[in-house]
Amino acid sequence: KDFGREAGNVTFSDIDREVPGRGILEYASRDDAEYAVKQLDAKELRGNVLRVALGDEVCVSACVSRPPD
């Protein structure tokens, strides 16, 4: 959640227990989510380069994942 706050108002965050290395960040507005994609995609966190993209299911979410090793 702290990672996502760099780009906007995060209202919810969680990890995907079925897909290791994947999580979701929900933002207060679509603008915040779009900004998060621009600002956070390809950023490094704990030695991993993250991929950030808008989610399909919720218009104000951004999916965060690290590439497989």
pLDDT, tens digit, for every residue of 13-68? 998 888 888 888 888 888 898 999 999 999 988 888 888 888 765 444 455 556 56
- The confidence score (pLDDT) of residue 66 equals 62
Question: Residue 50: which of 28, 30, 25 has the closest Cα?
Answer: 25
Residue 5: alpha-carbon gap to chain centroid: 10
Question: What is the pLDDT confidence band of residue 3, given thresholds at 50, 70 and 90?
Answer: confident
SS3 content of the chain, % helix, strand, coil (to 5): 20, 35, 40
Q: Return the structure tokens found at 55.
A: 């989610």
Q: Cα dist. 51→40, 65 in Å?
A: 8, 5
- The confidence score (pLDDT) of residue 9 equals 92
Q: What's the mean pLDDT in 1-5? A: 87
